[in-house]
Chains A and B, each alone.
Chain A
């Protein structure tokens, strides 16, 4: 026998459809949260473990700059630096392997001193033996690669290098773990002596040196010491944490985007719960009154509703967690492919599961607070009162506000927690956390903007839903004017039903609005970001075309291009790598006068003319904002750039918003004269071409003709931006898919509301049927009602979505060039179609219920 403790459970079982729908709504939200967090954790974890496996006990790696090597003197200087307790010099270069007449494909040769290497790494052998340092003809290869090419202990194969050819014998097979995972496992370990001979490298020199640091001294201290000791050669430092951050960085923005959308979907799920429970409370007023007569206190009936919510939350959370784990496995491989690290998906992240479970249950309970509170207010007198018992519409708005606030707070907390969980590792490791991601939008700002916009939308929906519904009803009437005679009774009934008690469906409407708003907002943000990207290209490469060289060409080629008919000006630009304080960075050399004349670069907080004048005068550089914050640079600071050929000590003459990106981020801008004089860098990597007025058409073809003899290619300036927009499109494609999930949850909400409506109106429908309403008309009545609802939801969604997109772009500091957000008409259309179509589809089942109402039974209902 079950007591009042079981009442919540029984209530759920009485309305199986509603229970199932509500659980599905929560489950979808929880699933997305779990999936998003798991993917983020898995990718971050995969990257960290991969990086850790690669670096072993080495804390730091000193790489040769560019194509060069670290000289024997530099290698010795590194080993002799105080605080360095172990070093392992390596020759590491790509080449091709052959065995007899068969090619084994590209491999990376790793030449090490076996003893020094094993002091830093724990390679394990599947079979065979490690190399002896004197064994110039031996090699170790990973098991997987060996299997793929039918190699075993004793097999022989050949490598071709710059210094000659070497034939090696396999002495041992490495298990596919740790450093053997690098470069896809296509590795050949040899002694460093053999590798030097193969590539023609001087004795004692190396491509890189792995360094183990005395923990008592610390990595930072050793970095500083290296900087003062290694003055003869440029070098680039990297740490294990850098590698992990670089691998994880590519996927971080996708992960936080996923999380924002997931939180909003869960939020819509919370609305569904609140709505379902509120409807149940309305239905059961008499029953609750009866319990109150029998002596149930307010607290007791409230707890019954909370118990009901508890079961809903639990079921939804369990299902959602399972579905989320499954989705995570699928998503992880998709997202993982964006990063370079293998995503091992063995165990689910316990943190992600915990957050998902906690959120699912908490959000459900939070959403139940208002209905529970209202249940407690049911008076015992209700037990004996006759007539319809409807929930007071006025309290619905308050209900929405309460549920919305609680859900939003929980959501934001989860976002912060999620951000901390994934961002924490790299922050702790001391890497300067990049505050912006590839989309240029700080993730927390996007999260906050999204949550705020959703909340605002919700409040607005509660307040203006009567108006919007009336408007939508009127619009539908107007739109169906041609078939008016046909649809008249249904239309009138539907409009009447909706406008009679708008508070009743305010929550469903809000849910639909949030879902559709998400679709519109994501499209808006994507478009805004893309526009910002285009604005950025206009800022750094304000040209009609760009002529790009694969490797640097003489600057003089520019005059050939300038001779092409219709060309007004040609600006040569050289992109190259530099080392700044032992870190790899990009630089661009320009002729200040012509680049300034193009109108390029916006100087932050200073005069553009003065900045370019300083550049022209020599000894100065302009640094992009991102680089300035990475290296903590300010105007007037000394900036030391190093290349293999030399060193330039430059004064920072200005900070620019953006510059052209090179291999390691946005470039430091230096004058071509300084580049030649101090850094030994000459030539051009690309030419920016400006067309003469009216001569832009056909210019591409003419440039092509002039450029092709020199193996130059003509591209649009936006191509310089690289793959940014491509990655952007893929990211937003994924998010759009998730936004549709929010619409699905909202549709569940609508099924529920309409089904309840039909049940509540059995008497009314029966009377109508008695008076001559056909079954078909009853069916259409409900579907038309849903259509109006959908249209109203689309209105709210479009308005809310545009506002939300604006908020996100504004908070992210990414406003378009005009400062005006352009509405994506495709998304607006999608919202309309999804809203109206989706909710009419959702109405099919309730409409069937309505069509099946039997006249006799309906009239008999009190």
Chain B
């Protein structure tokens, strides 16, 4: 099967004053449909930068990204935006929700932006389904500031998967959460992958979260240092991954 997402020799250099920061220097990777991939590595290793390039939020200095057969890295802004809207979903560490919109409206946002009638049967069904998947149907009409942080993250996941994106990107979605809530969020992500075949690319610091993945790519200094294959499992003990990471010097 061809990969759903492919990156070739990606490089990203930031200008900072007179100098430059080489956040990524030659990253190649491929993600198969239905796969759950985690990007891990020390702070500053380029995880967020890589995720932004893969999702078409930013453009690489060199190299290319092919998402679902389209070279997203060479599209103009409007085309990239539409591709992102229709085929990807994002979950960040925080500030995922538009504060003025209710949970339901936030979930429906990509549909609204695509010009769909938010009240048509299909949209309503998809929004309700996504909210149900994260067990938030009861709180759908609350605004973000009326929800707990974990609940806000669940709304963010619901929004990311409601449009049935070909791929879901998450950047440290559990970073601001306590242990138990973090596991809960990871469980929702994993279930969307296992039950609906959702492809997921996750950035995390946390081995406990990384252990949910089928495969972990370990980054350091803007390069992929190691690939750890864990395989699809029903249980997700963190210990084997922690031991492996320890060997890598983390």
**B-binding residues in A (CB < 8 A):** 1-4, 7, 10-11, 14, 286-287, 290-300, 379-381, 383-384
Q: Which of B62-70, B104-112, B184-192 is near enough to bind chain A?
A: B104-112
From the candidates A4, A11, A290, A381, name the one contacting B112 in the complex (CB within 8 A). Answer: A4
Q: How far is the CA of A4 from the CA of B85 in the complex (A)?
A: 14
How distant is A516 from chain B, measured CB to nearest CB, in Å?
A: 37
Q: How far is the CA of A14 from the CA of B110 in the complex (A)?
A: 22
Taking the complex as formed, is B57 at the interface, i.e. its CB lies under 8 A from any CB of chain A?
Answer: yes
- Is there contact, CB below 8 Å, between B98 and A290? yes
9 closest residue pairs by CB, A with B: A295-B85, A3-B112, A10-B100, A380-B57, A295-B113, A296-B113, A297-B81, A1-B118, A294-B109
Query: Given A1-B108, A3-B108, 19 more contacts at CB 8 Å?
Result: A3-B113, A10-B100, A10-B101, A290-B96, A290-B98, A291-B113, A294-B109, A294-B110, A295-B81, A295-B113, A295-B114, A297-B113, A298-B78, A381-B57, A381-B58, A383-B95, A384-B48, A384-B92, A384-B171
Q: Which residues of B contact A10 (CB under 8 A)?
A: 100-101
Q: How far is the CA of A561 from the CA of B109 in the complex (A)?
A: 94
- Is there contact, CB below 8 Å, between A287 and B113? no
Taking the complex as formed, is B8 at the interface, i.e. its CB lies under 8 A from any CB of chain A?
Answer: no
In the assembled complex, 12 residue pairs joining A and B whose CB atoms fall closer than 8 Å, in A order, are A1-B108, A4-B113, A290-B95, A294-B110, A295-B113, A296-B85, A297-B81, A297-B82, A298-B78, A380-B58, A384-B95, A384-B171
Q: Which residues of A contact B52 (CB under 8 A)?
A: 381, 384
- Is there contact, CB below 8 Å, between B100 and A14? yes
- Is there contact, CB below 8 Å, between A287 and B78? no
- Is there contact, CB below 8 Å, between B82 and A295? yes
Residue of B nearest to A288 (CB): B98
Q: Mark B61-93, 1 if CB is under 8 A from A, else 0.
A: 000000000000000011001101110001011
Q: How far is the CA of A381 from the CA of B14 in the complex (A)?
A: 13
User: Which B197-225 residues have C-beta < 8 A from chain A?
Assistant: none
Q: How far is the CA of A340 from the CA of B98 in the complex (A)?
A: 62
How distant is B53 from chain A, measured CB to nearest CB, in Å?
A: 10
How distant is A290 from chain B, measured CB to nearest CB, in Å?
A: 6
Q: Which residues of A contact B86 (CB under 8 A)?
A: 295
Taking the complex as formed, is B42 at the interface, i.e. its CB lies under 8 A from any CB of chain A?
Answer: no
- Is there contact, CB below 8 Å, between B85 and A294? yes
Residue of A nearest to B52 (CB): A381
From the candidates B58, B77, B102, B105, name the one contacting A298 in the complex (CB within 8 A). Answer: B77
Q: Which residues of B contact A300 (CB under 8 A)?
A: 113
| Majority secondary structure of chain A interface residues (helix, strand, loop or mixed) | helix
Q: Which residues of B contact A3 (CB under 8 A)?
A: 108, 112-113, 118
From the candidates B58, B110, B119, name the one contacting A295 in the complex (CB within 8 A). Answer: B110
Q: Which residues of A contact B113 (CB under 8 A)?
A: 3-4, 291, 294-297, 300
Q: How far is the CA of A4 from the CA of B115 in the complex (A)?
A: 9
Q: How far is the CA of A14 from the CA of B118 in the complex (A)?
A: 23
Residue of B nearest to A299 (CB): B78
The tally of CB-CB contacts under 8 A between chains A and B is: 79
Taking the complex as formed, is B99 at the interface, i.e. its CB lies under 8 A from any CB of chain A?
Answer: yes
How distant is A374 from chain B, measured CB to nearest CB, in Å?
A: 15
How distant is A438 from chain B, measured CB to nearest CB, in Å?
A: 55
Q: Which residues of B contact A7 (CB under 8 A)?
A: 100
- Is there contact, CB below 8 Å, between B78 and A295? no
Most buried by A among B57, B92, B105, B159: B57
Q: Which residues of A contact B84 (CB under 8 A)?
A: 293, 295, 380
- Is there contact, CB below 8 Å, between A1 and B105? yes
Q: How far is the CA of A500 from the CA of B171 in the complex (A)?
A: 34
From the candidates A286, A297, A298, A381, name the one contacting B95 in the complex (CB within 8 A). Answer: A286
Residue of A nearest to B100 (CB): A10
Q: How far is the CA of A14 from the CA of B108 in the complex (A)?
A: 21
Q: How far is the CA of A291 from the CA of B100 in the complex (A)?
A: 12
Residue of A nearest to B160 (CB): A294
How distant is A745 from chain B, measured CB to nearest CB, in Å?
A: 28
How distant is B95 from chain A, measured CB to nearest CB, in Å?
A: 6
How distant is A775 from chain B, measured CB to nearest CB, in Å?
A: 27
How distant is A234 from chain B, measured CB to nearest CB, in Å?
A: 80
Q: Which residues of B contact A291 (CB under 8 A)?
A: 98, 109, 113
- Is there contact, CB below 8 Å, between A287 and B108? no
Residue of A nearest to B123 (CB): A1
From the candidates B92, B93, B98, B102, name the one contacting A287 in the complex (CB within 8 A). Answer: B98
User: Which B44-62 residues have C-beta < 8 A from chain A?
Assistant: 48, 52, 57-58
Q: Which residues of A contact B101 (CB under 8 A)?
A: 2, 10
Q: Which residues of B contact A299 (CB under 8 A)?
A: 78
How distant is B173 from chain A, measured CB to nearest CB, in Å?
A: 12
Q: Which residues of B contact A383 (CB under 8 A)?
A: 92, 95
Q: How far is the CA of A379 from the CA of B98 in the complex (A)?
A: 16
Most buried by B among A10, A11, A294, A381: A294
Residue of A nearest to B119 (CB): A1
Q: Which residues of B contact A292 (CB under 8 A)?
A: 81
Q: Which residues of A contact B82 (CB under 8 A)?
A: 295, 297
Q: How far is the CA of A286 from the CA of B94 in the complex (A)?
A: 11
Q: How far is the CA of A406 from the CA of B58 in the complex (A)?
A: 34
Q: How far is the CA of A380 from the CA of B171 in the complex (A)?
A: 14
Q: Which residues of B contact A286 (CB under 8 A)?
A: 95
- Is there contact, CB below 8 Å, between A293 and B57? yes
Q: How far is the CA of A299 from the CA of B90 in the complex (A)?
A: 21
Q: How far is the CA of A10 from the CA of B112 in the complex (A)?
A: 15
Q: Given A1-B104, A287-B99, A384-B48, are A294 and B159 neighbors across the interface (CB < 8 Å)?
A: yes
Q: Which residues of A contact B102 (CB under 8 A)?
A: 1
How distant is B119 from chain A, measured CB to nearest CB, in Å?
A: 7
